[in-house]
Amino acid sequence: MDRFQIVREIELAHNRIKKYIVKTPLLEFEGEAKSSDKIFLKLENAQHTGSFKLRGALNKILSLSSDELSLGIIAASTGNHALATAYALKLTNRKGTIFLPNEVVETKLAKLSKFDVDLIHYGDDSSETEIEARKISIERNKPFISPYNDYQVIAGQGTIGLEIYNEFKTVENVFVTVGGGGMISGIACYLKHVNPNIKVYGCQPENSAVMYHSIKKGRIIQMESKTTISDGSAGGIESNSITFELVQNNVDKFILVTEDEIKKSMKELFGKTKLIVEGAAAVAMAAYNKISENLSGDSVIVICGGNIDTGLFNSIVG
């Protein structure tokens, strides 16, 4: 699909999912912007299931036929996509199996256990988990709900960009955390379509920046990730991911942040707004802070989720 086709799919996705999701608020933020510039936080942590992932999973499931859904779906996730898929299956009264890495944040696992889905742990990295889940879905002829490598999932996530622009047409900079690239692909395609001058920044932790290094190399590379508090964005990318080219063509710049910078931004967000956000959400805030002195124009920072272990969060914010 080209950008125009994806934008059309985003508009269709918006109409398909809007009655089921939260139209998340834009919260004005008192940050380090120049006095004439505004900063807003797009609060996807206020979405059902606590993250942006519901938009994509729900759009994909609602786009499947009744016959396809009756087969039972398969998904793979580090946690947030799993929660979104489980929630979407409950909404549609369908069954499914979700593959998870061996290590999953306990808070997300506890929430998942409340849904009527089968959970299978496989692999130490999200890319390993996805490969295994796809293989099983092909063997069993069941639909696969990718966390990012699917046009319907990308279109669902792209509704964030549609909401941002409809509410804040003067936006000039948008900061988005990147894992597999589904969310930023949708947001960037939509925003670049309505206003090519809007700059879209891809934000990743230094410890797991596979998309950034892949873009630098000009191809998807496989590399090991280090431990990061941004577990929601951590891990590799499928070798055939459609998000690579979309990111390559629509994202203006990448910003990498350290673990200390992520934690500092979590503390800042809690101190100024009382928002409890997960590491992946604070990556975008940390990236904004890193370049804010040289930035001009109104900005939106996408706060992609709030699913974090209470003990871990308290240990960070003090």
Q: Domains plus CATH for the chain?
A: 3-51+150-317 (3.40.50.1100), 54-145 (3.40.50.1100)
Distance, CA of 264 to CA of 270 (rounded, Å): 10
pLDDT of residue 316: 95
Is residue 34 pLDDT above 70, yes or no? no
Number of other CB atoms surrounding residue 184 within 10 Å:
33
End-to-end CA distance of the chain: 46
Q: What is the pLDDT of residue 120?
A: 95
Percent of the chain whose predicted confidence (pLDDT) is above 70: 98
| Res. 142: pLDDT tops 90 | yes
Mean pLDDT of 114-118: 93
CA distance 209 to 251: 15
The pTM (predicted TM-score) of the whole model is 0.95
pLDDT at 33 over 60: no
Q: Residue with structure tokens 């580090």?
A: 78
Q: How far is 197 from 202, CA to CA, in rounded Å?
A: 16
Confidence at residue 35, expressed as pLDDT on a 0 to 100 scale: 63
Top-confidence residue, 235 or 166:
166
CA dist., res. 176 & res. 201, Å (int): 6
pLDDT: which is higher, 55 or 30: 55
Question: Whose structure tokens read 């709900």?
Answer: 145
Q: What is the Cα–Cα distance from 309 to 29, expressed in whole angstroms?
A: 25
Q: Find the mean pLDDT for residues 203-219.
A: 98
151-189 pLDDT, tens digit each:
999 999 999 999 999 999 999 999 999 999 999 999 999
